[in-house]
Amino acid sequence: MSSSRPIVIFDTTLRDGEQSPGCSMNLSEKLEVAQALVDLGVDVIEAGFPIASPGDFEAVEAIAKTVSGATICGLARCNEKDIDRAADALGHAADARIHVFLATSAIHREFKLKMDKSEIIERAVAGVKRARNRCDNIEFSPEDAARTELDFLCEVVEAAIGAGATTVNIPDTVGYATPAHFGNVIATLKNRVPNIDQAVISVHCHNDLGLAVANSLAAVEAGAGQIECTINGLGERAGNCSLEEVVMALRTRHDVYHADTRINTPRLVPTSRLVSGITGMLVQRNKAIVGRNAFAHEAGIHQDGMLKERSTYEIMRPEDVGFTQTDLVLGKHSGRAALADRAKALGFHLSGEQLDNVFNAFKKLADKKKEVYDGDIAALIEQGAAVVADQWQLQSYEVQASTDGAPRATITLSRGSEEKSATVNEGDGPLDALFHAIEEITGVAIIVRDFRVQSATRGKDAQGESVIEAEYNGQLVRGRGVSTDTVEAAVRAFLNAVNRVAVGQARDPKTRPEAV
């Protein structure tokens, strides 16, 4: 039997993932995701960047106070204020880590930091020491490591470990590395840095060339012991290494990597759905592991092979990643217990009030639709996840449109005990008219940049799932809505985006911290 070594899974969905445009989450959503990450079995949760905004500080502090079962990490640039702020936010964590970063590549040194090599080493050492005074568990990242001169990278890493870093993370910040190149970077650090045994080598790969997972795996082969990744591969630009893909690659090809993680893989699909529901960022159908088509066999020759012996065309079982094998059908006579049971099988743990809300929505849906499939239930629960506190709710709408003349739309919304209606007689079509009416009531005007509707399940009466990407003051906001009526799904998605703006959830790019 081959020996196996443990790989630490460091999830940064709540930090790097949340930095992706339109993916910002509110406090209760972040707490829900953090708990889901613990249930998934991640080792370290990067909960946020406390200096970035009061909201980020509050979220890291709340997660540190209430979430146990994983190390809670906060990010800081290599300066005193950032480090102190991160340490303060993490003060109540049972198990905390401060993650300090400083760019090291020539291009960042010259143009962004205007610092020479010796100043970088000095700053890195001072930052790690300051963080170490507040916490025993310190991660140091030489930002843009993949484009840093290897000799200098070795020097910085040695100095950071000497100053007390317990993990040294090697980021491919701009997604420039290739597998052989990146594997060589890790092997060189292992061979050349004299005190490398005193720290865990971590990797943090971005996906600009679609190589984040491949680069992370090459790093593991070369000796890395921690992978930084995100649910659904969320993250800056093209995203980060996808947690579900890298974990299943390690597991499925154990013969190659001889490495294990603590990830409870049947939680992958439910966690992916939760994050997609909260952020409004749909998972592409053919996405490896968690995409709806990831296990769908269409070609007759494949189906024939599968019926004879699954392993002819299947390298993983759908149930191993959390797809339920049966697509049990519920109907209008199904009760709360049956719904709760189905939700549980799909990986959702519904609390009393949450279960009440989903059950009410389920009853309405079952009245319209004879058969309610797993996908319908997941969509209803995810829609619940997209609900924003203090939001406007849709009460009713009416719309008339034709090829000649302007559309006419009337909409009624409520917020708490307040109810308001608006009628508009303008717009490029029925949806545009409905959106104008929503803007008139809420006073929030957003510009729709992208709009999609897809079916949540099969059949003619399938629910439509709509996602809207809109712009508000230069910021991207997403909204998501589900209904058997595609117009209503679009209205709900638009309203969800407007609600996010109304509660101040769209992140203002001007609040981003400066480089140093």
Q: What is the 3-state secondary structure (H, E, C) of 163-231?
A: HCCCEEEEEECCCCCCHHHHHHHHHHHHHHCCCHHHCEEEEEEECCCCCHHHHHHHHHHCCCCEEEEEH
Q: Is 56 in the site for ligand KIV (CB under 6 A)?
A: no
Q: Is 11 in the site for Zn ion (CB under 5 A)?
A: no
Q: Are 226 and 169 in contact (CB under 8 A)?
A: yes
Give the integer Cα–Cα distance in Å for 449 and 402: 24
Q: From the list Zn ion, ligand KIV, none, pick the one residue 348 interacts with, judged by a Cβ distance below 5 to 8 Å according to partner type.
A: none
What's the token pair of residue 52?
């970035």
3-state secondary structure of 159: helix
Among 267, 257, 259, smallest CA distance to 231 is for 267
Q: From the list Zn ion, ligand KIV, none, pick the one residue 147 interacts with, judged by a Cβ distance below 5 to 8 Å according to partner type.
A: none
Q: Based on CB atoms, which residue is closest to Zn ion, 174 or 406?
A: 174
Pick the stretch among 168-176, 184-192, 331-339, 494-502 that binds ligand KIV (CB under 6 A): 168-176
Q: Based on CB atoms, which residue is closest to ligand KIV, 178 or 393?
A: 178
What's the token pair of residue 90?
């993490």
What is the number of residues in the chain?
A: 516
- Measured CA to CA in angstroms, residue 128 lies from 71, 119, 177, 286, 472 at distances of 18, 14, 26, 42, 39
CB of 260 to ligand KIV, least distance (A): 24
- Measured CA to CA in angstroms, residue 149 lies from 171, 188, 301 at distances of 14, 12, 51
- List 17, 48, 127, 171, residue binding ligand KIV (CB under 6 A): 171
CB of 104 to ligand KIV, least distance (A): 10
CB of 185 to Zn ion, least distance (A): 16
Q: Count of CB atoms within 10 A of residue 373's CB?
A: 20
Q: Is 204 in the site for ligand KIV (CB under 6 A)?
A: yes
Pick the stretch among 52-60, 66-74, 169-177, 348-356 that binds ligand KIV (CB under 6 A): 169-177
3-state secondary structure of 330: strand
CA 96 from centroid of its chain's CA atoms = 21
**Number of residues lying near ligand KIV (CB under 6 A):** 9
Give the integer Cα–Cα distance in Å for 262 and 42: 7
CB of 85 to ligand KIV, least distance (A): 15
Element spanning 434, H or E: helix 430-442
Give the integer Cα–Cα distance in Å for 140 and 131: 10
Q: Are 446 and 472 in contact (CB under 8 A)?
A: yes
- List 148, 173, 232, 499, residue binding ligand KIV (CB under 6 A): 173
- Measured CA to CA in angstroms, residue 65 lies from 59, 176, 389 at distances of 10, 37, 22
Pick the stretch among 167-175, 268-276, 281-289, 382-390 that binds ligand KIV (CB under 6 A): 167-175
Q: Is 141 in the site for ligand KIV (CB under 6 A)?
A: yes
Q: Count of CB atoms within 10 A of residue 131's CB?
A: 29
Pick the stretch among 8-16, 35-43, 60-68, 286-294 that binds Zn ion (CB under 5 A): 8-16
Pick the stretch among 13-21, 314-322, 323-331, 374-382 that binds Zn ion (CB under 5 A): 13-21
Give the integer Cα–Cα distance in Å for 492 and 406: 22
**Number of residues lying near Zn ion (CB under 5 A):** 1
What's the token pair of residue 265?
């893989």
Pick the stretch among 10-18, 294-302, 340-348, 415-423 that binds Zn ion (CB under 5 A): 10-18
Pick the stretch among 22-30, 109-117, 165-173, 320-328 that binds ligand KIV (CB under 6 A): 165-173
Q: Is 342 in the site for ligand KIV (CB under 6 A)?
A: no
- List 11, 16, 155, 469, residue binding Zn ion (CB under 5 A): 16
CB of 173 to ligand KIV, least distance (A): 3
Site string for ligand KIV, 87-116 (x = CB under 6 A): --------------x---------------
Site string for ligand KIV, 205-234 (x = CB under 6 A): -x----------------------------
Q: Based on CB atoms, which residue is closest to Zn ion, 113 or 229?
A: 229
Q: From the list ligand KIV, Zn ion, none, pick the one residue 233 interacts with, judged by a Cβ distance below 5 to 8 Å according to partner type.
A: none
For the CA atoms of 137, 143, 146, 148, the dihedral, rounded to the nearest 10 degrees, stands at -110
Give the integer Cα–Cα distance in Å for 458 and 472: 34
Q: Is 143 in the site for ligand KIV (CB under 6 A)?
A: yes
Among 321, 308, 358, 368, smallest CA distance to 336 is for 358
Q: Are 340 and 355 in contact (CB under 8 A)?
A: yes
Q: From the list ligand KIV, Zn ion, none, pick the one residue 442 interacts with, judged by a Cβ distance below 5 to 8 Å according to partner type.
A: none
Q: From the list Zn ion, ligand KIV, none, pick the one residue 141 interacts with, judged by a Cβ distance below 5 to 8 Å according to partner type.
A: ligand KIV
CB of 58 to ligand KIV, least distance (A): 20
The phi and psi torsions of 114 (rounded to 5 degrees) equal 50, 50
Give the integer Cα–Cα distance in Å for 229 and 231: 7
CB of 87 to ligand KIV, least distance (A): 17
Give the integer Cα–Cα distance in Å for 284 and 257: 27
Q: Based on CB atoms, which residue is closest to ligand KIV, 204 or 507?
A: 204
Q: Is 465 in the site for Zn ion (CB under 5 A)?
A: no
Q: From the list ligand KIV, Zn ion, none, pick the one residue 143 interacts with, judged by a Cβ distance below 5 to 8 Å according to partner type.
A: ligand KIV
Site string for ligand KIV, 3-22 (x = CB under 6 A): -------------x------
Angle at which helices 243-252 and 212-221 cross, to 10°: 40
The residue ranges that bind Zn ion (CB under 5 A) are 16
The residue ranges that bind ligand KIV (CB under 6 A) are 16, 101, 141, 143, 169, 171, 173, 204, 206
